[in-house]
């Protein structure tokens, strides 16, 4: 009470003074002015806030969404490739790798230095890392090292605090459990090239691989699968805070081949270290059961990059390990071409099975003398004997009578020098059956002699081992079978695999019988050229045809000197050894073509090899098995 | 003797409790309300925990509150006596920080004193207000017509401004200068004097710009064209605007603002705390905070006008003006209206010395309120001259 009284008194007393002191009045006026200014400023800010938040709110809200959401894509697992019994021939293995997110470290060089002390980086790696650091995109990690071992990982994990920005991540790499054995058929994958990424941004994802050869290349799209994605909430440094939405993507299709990996192994074992190619087919539906090209290479080397020295070694090797000789190797078929010539003549009516031709050891056509392989000749023989003895003169004469155009037309019907549309491999070569038209198109004259040498599969004639196997399958069954390598895709059987799908060849059956009989005689009759091809399985016979294809013209002088022996020639001038065959003779099921580069005589080298392969095939009988026969293959499976 | 007597008359022997009763508790309540909002915002900025920011800051606030009430009880006479020593001390600190201070983010400088970061420029502002208030208190309104009387206070302003500019902290220097100018204005500077000072300003500004540091020029240019460098200097402004905009009318919800919670907002606990509030609480929350700040500013101005002595009036004006400038610069900055500078939002932003100095200022304001009826040392035209 006392206080209040004093106060009010105070106020009363001081009131008269107020008017006399101008400073208070001035102050009040000016303070009000300042308050107006303050109010105006804060009011303007409130108005600006309204503009930012309410009027333009949705625009900024969209920008905030963009900030917050990050969609990340990941590579789907690549489809497995198996053989006909489900054994993996191309699979995926988990691959631990170290990545660097440059935004999370302030000292990239320091981090890299400490990293290199723990896990050594090859100079090649360092160059790549430097390049990637210069071209990287914001918040996209770059790869430091992959294929980390368990020890590497332990060392890295232990030292994580001194390695800011380093992440350990898991991806997959392609493994090929059979290594070189299946390399040509299955092919290999490699990281996509810059130009691929330009066309398809999906390929830029870490871990994406592109098929570069074989089935991996031709079936790349179905093996690749569909890219998955995760929508994530990320913070300002790109660290994932929450996962909002996930699209798991689609794993690539699993592809089952027609190949029997066990048979493939046996065939390779029979070939040994020769530079050769062999194809085994189911001659009823065209399934390729084995396709071997030797020497081979390790396909898994391509995933991480092939070293320069390895590459030079491969490309300089005269035995061409990188090339699949079965579809890309072109060889003159030599005497294996004779059944096709005979078929052409039968169809053209220029030869009947009973016609007899005399072989004195040579024939003169247009002033040139063409020799038979036998200096003494074969006497007077019919078609069956012509095939059995592989008489050159007989087929010179048949070719001369028939002419080149009908021979070429018929050979192409059997797949020789023709496209094989169903074979699922890249770099398939077509070969050539020469015709006068073709010769003229290249500005040359077609001589009568050209027809003569073509009659024994020499000259310009060039075919692949797969074409030979197709040709002998068609002879064996009279059906237009198409060779193919894929049995099923994602569990759906390929149409071609159905038995009875292959249409007939539209030629009289007795033509086929005549030719098969000749080929039977080659192997099984006294005096045939390939007695070494006779099967050692009771009740089963094989029919076949030998071939020795010269790669260099043998001069008359050399031949007449009597000392000519092609085995004395340098390797690359020796003739190729070929053999084509099918078995069992009375109910054809398997067809085989064997080409041994510079193997000399087909009868001595190729025929026994073909016999061994056929024996293995018949013993395994892969087309009648549901399970892989034997245990030796199953152990090779890695997953 | 006469002065002593007056003092006694004007300052009846208040008991501490009765003085406390005199404190404007409504105003204190408003301060506390803003501090609570600040606590909530810092809790959110810490990602939903009080540990990094909100906890320490609330302890500082409580300490500041006690300090404020303590200062509120001090009589103007004591405060006047404190002015010179405090001013000199602040100048010493400003020199010291130039010599051996730590530099943070290119501009703010601080000293480590007893394990605490001290920004001398914060103290300098309050000390200057106190200094100018006591100086203008002592000279008469009439004597201010003489320009020579304005030279000493002008030097008092220019000295700390020059030192802060040297740091170099342009934002704070401008605030100090403006606070000083507003006190000249409030003290009754003549209009012709003002005109004489203001007219050559554009010319001086041009010279000043040419002396700006490169990073300060960069701030000006990125302010004018923020999109020219979205990941560099313009990043802060763009992200802040995005955060504000995505808040909309009602906000994204407490602890759910994506820009703040996901660290897109730079310095969200200090300079950009308002952005965080406006993102999570929307325009409604933002305008509420602005309204409360405006209430504190106007309250301070009304307290100043209510004072019966020039010292209290100018003290109130200076403190309110200082507080207002802090708010206005910070808000303009986060809304992209002026170039970014290290100016926190008072009472809400995380930071020790800013919080303590703001509460120190409010203590002075409260003292002016408590002693509003004192006419101590008031020079009336009749008495002097």
Please tell me whether residue A294 adopts helix, strand or coil conformation. strand
Q: What is the pLDDT of residue A218?
A: 93
- The tokens of B285 are what? 């929350």
- Rounded Cα gap, residues B280 and B258, in angstroms: 9
- The pLDDT value recorded for residue A10 is 42
Instruction: Indicate yes or no: CB of B373 within 8 angstroms of CB of A28.
Output: no
B242:A64 CB<8 A:
yes
Bridge partners for A240 per DSSP: A234
Residue of B nearest to A138 (CA): B231
Does A11 reach chain B within 8 Å, measured CB to CB? yes
Per CB-CB distance under 8 Å, the chain B contacts of A4 are none
**pLDDT single digits (tens) B133-151:** 999 988 877 788 888 888 8
Q: Do B188 and A56 touch (CB under 8 A)?
A: no
Chain A nearest-CA distance from B113, in A, is: 30
Phi and psi (nearest 5°) for A85? -105, 10
The angle that helices B310-334 and A22-50 make with each other, rounded to 10 degrees, is 10
From A164's Cα to the closest Cα of chain B, the distance in A is 19
User: Mean of the pLDDT values across residues B301-330?
Assistant: 93
What size, in residues, is chain A?
Answer: 639
Token pair for residue B349? 């932003």
* Cβ–Cβ below 8 Å for B187 and A23: yes
Asked if B281 has any chain A CB less than 8 Å from its own CB, the reply is no
Hey, which residues 57-86 in chain A have their CB within 8 Å of chain B?
Answer: 57-61, 63-65, 67-68
- Chain B interface includes A490 (CB < 8 A): no
> Is B249 close to A57, i.e. CB distance below 8 A?
yes
CB of A292 within 8 A of CB of A264? yes
How far, in Å, are A78, A171, A227, A489 from residue A93 at the CA level? Answer: 11, 8, 18, 21
Count, in order, helices (H) and strands (E) of chain A.
24, 21
Q: Which residue in A20, A39, A48 is closest to B381 by CB distance?
A: A20
Across the A/B interface, how many CB contacts are shorter than 8 Å? 169
Query: What is the mean pLDDT, run by run of 10 residues, along chain A of 639 residues?
Result: 40 42 84 94 93 84 73 79 93 84 77 87 82 67 81 84 79 87 92 76 75 92 83 67 76 93 94 94 94 92 80 88 93 95 95 93 89 90 94 94 95 94 92 93 90 92 96 95 93 78 89 95 93 91 93 60 68 89 94 92 87 94 81 48
Q: Provide the β-strand partners of residue A294.
A: A276
- Per-residue confidence (pLDDT) for residue A7, from 0 to 100: 41
Task: At B62, list the tokens.
Answer: 């409580």
| All structural domains of chain B with their residue ranges | 24-370
Contact status of B132 with chain A (Cβ, < 8 Å): no
Q: Which residue of B has its CA nearest to A63?
A: B242
Helices (H), A233-324: 261-271, 301-304, 308-316
Q: CA of A2, closest CA in chain B: separation in Å? A: 11
Which CA distances in Å does B330 have to A50, A143, A404, B290, B294? 17, 43, 96, 11, 14
The model carries a pTM of 0.61
In chain A the first and final C-alpha atoms are separated, in Å, by 97
For residue A63, how many other CB atoms are within 10 A of its CB?
18
All structural domains of chain A:
71-257 (3.90.1310.10), 261-295+323-634 (3.40.710.10)
Which residues of B fall within a CB distance of 8 Å from A22?
A: 141, 188, 381
3 state DSSP class of A369: strand
Kindly provide the ipTM of the predicted complex, given to two decimals.
0.88
**Residue A200 confidence (pLDDT):** 73
**What is the separation of C-alpha A596 from the centre of its chain, rounded to a whole number of angstroms?**
23
B286–A49 CB contact, under 8 Å? yes
Residue in B263, B287, B317 nearest the CB of A46: B287
Closest by CA to A63, choosing from B248, B151, B211, B214, is B248
Decide: residue A1, CB within 10 A, 0-12 exposed, 13-18 middle, 19+ buried: exposed
Among A50, A58, A235, the residue with its CB nearest the CB of B262 is A235
| A236 close contact with B: CB closer than 8 A | yes
**Cα(B299)–Cα(A317) distance, rounded to whole angstroms?**
95
The 8 Å CB, 24+ separation contacts for B326-332 are B326/B175, B326/B358, B327/A42, B327/B290, B327/B293, B327/B297, B328/A38, B328/A41, B328/A42, B328/A45, B329/B171, B329/B174, B329/B175, B330/B271, B330/B274, B331/A42, B331/A45, B331/A49, B331/B274, B331/B290, B332/A45
B29-39 confidence digits (pLDDT tens):
999 999 999 99
Report the pLDDT value the prediction gives residue A238, as an integer from 0 to 100.
58
**Cβ-Cβ contacts under 8 Å, B248 against chain A:** 53-54, 57-58, 61
Quick count: other Cβ atoms within 10 Å of Cβ A36?
10
**What's the pLDDT score for residue A564?**
63
Looking at residue A35, its pLDDT comes to 94
Contact status, residue B310 vs residue B138, Cβ threshold 8 Å: no
d(CA A369, CA A360) in angstroms, rounded, equals: 12
With CB atoms and an 8 Å threshold, state whether A42 touches B310. no
What was the pLDDT predicted at A6? 41
Contact B242 A54 (CB under 8 A): no
Chain B residue numbers touching A14 (CB-CB < 8 A): 308, 373, 375
Task: Select from A84, A54, A7 the least CA-distant residue to A627.
Answer: A84
Give how far B288 is from chain A: nearest CA, Å.
10
Chain B, 66-105: which have a CB under 8 Å from a chain A CB?
none
**A32 to chain B: which residues are within 8 Å by CB?**
305
At residue B46, the pLDDT reads 84
Q: Do A17 and B243 lie within an 8 Å CB cutoff? A: no
For A:372-401, CB contacts with B below 8 A are none
Residue of chain A with shortest Cα separation from B274: A49
For residues B88-117, give the mean pLDDT.
Answer: 73
Report the pLDDT value the prediction gives residue B225, as an integer from 0 to 100.
59
Tell whether A491 lies on the interface with B, counting CB pairs under 8 A. Answer: no
Q: How far is B25 from chain A (nearest CA, A)?
A: 18
CA-to-CA separations, B352 to B59, B118, B335, in angstroms, rounded: 10, 8, 24
Packing angle of the helix pair B120-138, B352-370 (nearest 10 deg): 20
CB contact under 8 A, B304 and A27: yes
Residue among A18, A22, A38, A67 with most chain B CBs within 10 A, to mutate: A38
Of B188, B241, B382, the CB nearest to A52: B241
Q: What is the pLDDT of residues B211-221, one digit of tens each?
A: 777 777 776 66
Q: Which two tokens stand for residue A242?
A: 């929450």
Best residue of A1, A47, A53, A70 to probe chain B, by most B CBs closer than 10 Å: A53
Chain B hits for A237, Cβ within 8 Å: 263
Instruction: Tell me if A41 and B249 make a contact (CB, 8 A cut-off).
Output: no
Yes or no, beta carbons of A31 and B293 under 8 Å apart: no
Confidence (pLDDT) at A305 = 72
The residue in chain B having the minimum alpha-carbon distance to the alpha carbon of residue A7 is: B373
CB A45 to CB B382 under 8 A? no
pLDDT of residue A72: 66
Q: Do B258 and A17 touch (CB under 8 A)?
A: no
| Chain A residues within 8 A of B12 when measuring between CB atoms | 3, 6
Question: What is the DSSP pairing of strand A576-583 with strand A543-549?
Answer: antiparallel
| Residues of chain B positioned with their CB less than 8 A from the CB of A39 | 294, 298
Here the tokens at position A277 are 């190619």
> For residue A570, how many other CB atoms are within 10 A of its CB?
8
State the smallest CA–CA distance between residue B381 and chain A in angstroms.
Answer: 6
Min CA distance, B384 vs chain A (Å)? Answer: 11
């Amino acid at each position: 009470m006392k206080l209040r009284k004093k106060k009010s008194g105070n106020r009363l007393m001081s009131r008269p003074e107020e008017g006399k002191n101008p400073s208070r009045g001035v102050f009040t006026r000016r303070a009000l002015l300042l308050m107006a200014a303050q109010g105006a400023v804060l009011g303007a800010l409130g108005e600006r806030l309204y503009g930012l938040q309410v009027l333009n709110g949705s625009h900024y809200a969209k920008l905030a969404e963009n900030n917050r959401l990050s969609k990340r894509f990941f590579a789907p697992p690549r489809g497995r490739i198996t053989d006909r019994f489900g054994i993996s021939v191309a699979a995926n293995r988990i691959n631990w790798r170290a990545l660097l997110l440059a935004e999370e470290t302030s000292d990239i060089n320091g981090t890299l230095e400490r990293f290199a002390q723990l896990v050594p980086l090859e100079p090649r790696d360092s160059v790549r890392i430097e390049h990637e650091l210069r071209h990287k995109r914001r918040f996209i990690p770059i790869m430091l090292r992959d294929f980390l071992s368990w020890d590497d990982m332990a060392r890295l994990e232990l030292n994580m605090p001194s390695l800011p920005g380093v992440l350990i991540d898991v991806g997959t790499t392609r493994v090929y459990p059979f290594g070189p054995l299946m390399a040509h058929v299955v092919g290999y994958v490699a990281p996509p090239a810059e130009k691929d990424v330009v066309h398809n941004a999906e390929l830029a994802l870490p871990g994406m691989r592109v098929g570069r050869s074989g089935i991996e290349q031709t079936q790349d799209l179905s093996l690749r699968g569909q890219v998955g994605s995760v929508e994530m909430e990320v913070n300002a440094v790109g660290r994932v805070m929450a996962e909002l939405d996930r699209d798991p993507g689609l794993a690539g299709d699993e592809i089952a081949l027609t190949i029997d990996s066990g048979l493939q192994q046996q065939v390779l074992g029979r070939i040994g270290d020769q530079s050769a190619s062999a194809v085994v087919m189911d001659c009823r539906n065209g399934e390729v059961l084995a396709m071997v090209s030797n020497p081979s290479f390790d396909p898994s080397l391509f995933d991480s990059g092939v070293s320069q020295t390895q590459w030079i070694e491969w490309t300089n090797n005269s035995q061409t390990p990188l090339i699949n000789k079965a579809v890309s190797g072109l060889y003159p078929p030599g005497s294996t071409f004779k059944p096709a010539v005979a078929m052409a003549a039968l169809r053209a009516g220029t030869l009947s099975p009973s016609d007899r031709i005399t072989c004195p050891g040579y024939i003169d056509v247009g002033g040139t003398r063409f020799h038979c392989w036998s200096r003494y000749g074969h006497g007077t023989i019919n078609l069956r004997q012509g095939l059995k003895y592989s008489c050159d003169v007989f087929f010179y004469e048949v070719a001369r009578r028939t002419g080149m155009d009908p021979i070429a037309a018929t050979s192409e019907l059997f797949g020789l020098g023709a496209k094989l549309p169903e074979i699922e491999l890249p770099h398939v070569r077509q070969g050539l059956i020469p015709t006068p038209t073709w010769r003229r198109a290249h500005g040359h004259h077609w001589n009568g002699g050209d027809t003569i040498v073509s009659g024994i599969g020499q000259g310009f004639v060039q075919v692949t081992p797969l074409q030979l196997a197709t040709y002998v399958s068609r002879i064996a069954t009279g059906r237009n079978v198409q060779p193919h390598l894929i049995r099923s895709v994602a569990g759906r059987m390929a149409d071609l695999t159905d038995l009875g799908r292959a249409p007939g060849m539209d030629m009289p059956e007795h033509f086929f019988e005549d030719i098969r009989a000749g080929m039977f005689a080659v192997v099984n009759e006294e005096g045939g050229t390939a007695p070494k091809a006779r099967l050692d399985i009771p009740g089963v016979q094989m029919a076949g045809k030998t071939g020795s294809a010269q790669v260099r013209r043998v001069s008359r002088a050399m031949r007449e000197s009597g000392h000519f022996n092609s085995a004395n020639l340098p390797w690359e001038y020796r003739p190729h050894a070929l053999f084509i065959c099918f078995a069992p003779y009375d109910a054809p099921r398997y067809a085989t073509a064997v080409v041994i580069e510079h193997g000399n005589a087909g009868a001595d080298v190729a025929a026994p090899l073909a016999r061994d392969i056929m024996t293995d095939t018949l013993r395994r009988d892969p087309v009648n098995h549901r399970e892989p026969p034997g245990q030796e293959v199953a152990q090779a499976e890695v997953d | 003797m006469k002065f002593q007597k007056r003092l006694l008359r004007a300052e009846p022997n208040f008991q501490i409790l009765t003085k406390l009763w005199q404190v404007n508790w409504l105003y204190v309540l408003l301060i506390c309300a803003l501090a609570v909002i600040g606590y909530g915002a810092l809790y959110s900025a810490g990602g939903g925990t009080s540990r990094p920011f909100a906890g320490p800051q609330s302890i500082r606030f409580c300490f500041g509150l006690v300090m404020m009430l303590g200062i509120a009880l001090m009589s103007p006479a004591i405060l006047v006596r404190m002015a010179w020593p405090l001013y000199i001390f602040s100048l010493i600190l400003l020199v010291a920080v130039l010599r051996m201070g730590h530099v943070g983010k290119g501009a703010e400088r601080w000293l480590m004193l007893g394990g605490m970061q001290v920004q001398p420029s914060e103290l300098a502002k309050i000390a200057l207000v106190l200094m100018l208030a006591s100086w203008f208190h002592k000279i008469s309104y009439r004597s201010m017509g003489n320009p020579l009387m304005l030279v000493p206070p002008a030097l008092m302003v220019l000295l700390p401004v020059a030192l802060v500019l040297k740091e170099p902290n342009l934002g704070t220097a401008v605030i100090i200068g403006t606070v000083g100018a507003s006190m000249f204005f409030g003290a009754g500077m003549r209009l012709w004097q003002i005109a004489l000072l203001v007219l050559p300003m554009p010319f001086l500004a041009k010279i000043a710009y040419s002396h700006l540091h490169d990073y300060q020029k960069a701030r000006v240019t990125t302010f004018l064209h923020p999109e020219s460098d979205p990941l560099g200097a313009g990043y802060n402004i763009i992200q802040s605007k995005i955060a504000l905009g995505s808040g909309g009318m009602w906000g994204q919800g407490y602890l759910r603002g994506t820009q703040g919670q996901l660290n897109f907002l730079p310095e969200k606990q200090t300079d950009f705390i308002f952005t965080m509030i406006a993102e999570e609480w929307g325009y409604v929350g933002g305008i509420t905070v602005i309204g409360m700040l405006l209430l504190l500013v106007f309250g301070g101005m009304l307290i100043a006008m209510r004072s019966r002595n020039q010292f209290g009036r100018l003290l109130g004006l200076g403190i309110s003006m200082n507080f207002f400038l802090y708010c206005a610069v910070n808000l303009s900055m986060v809304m992209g209206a002026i170039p970014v500078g290290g100016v926190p939002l008072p009472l809400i932003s995380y930071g020790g010395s800013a919080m303590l100095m703001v509460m120190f200022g409010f203590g002075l304001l409260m003292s002016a309120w408590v002693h509003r009826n004192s006419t101590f040392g008031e020079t009336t035209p009749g008495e002097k001259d």
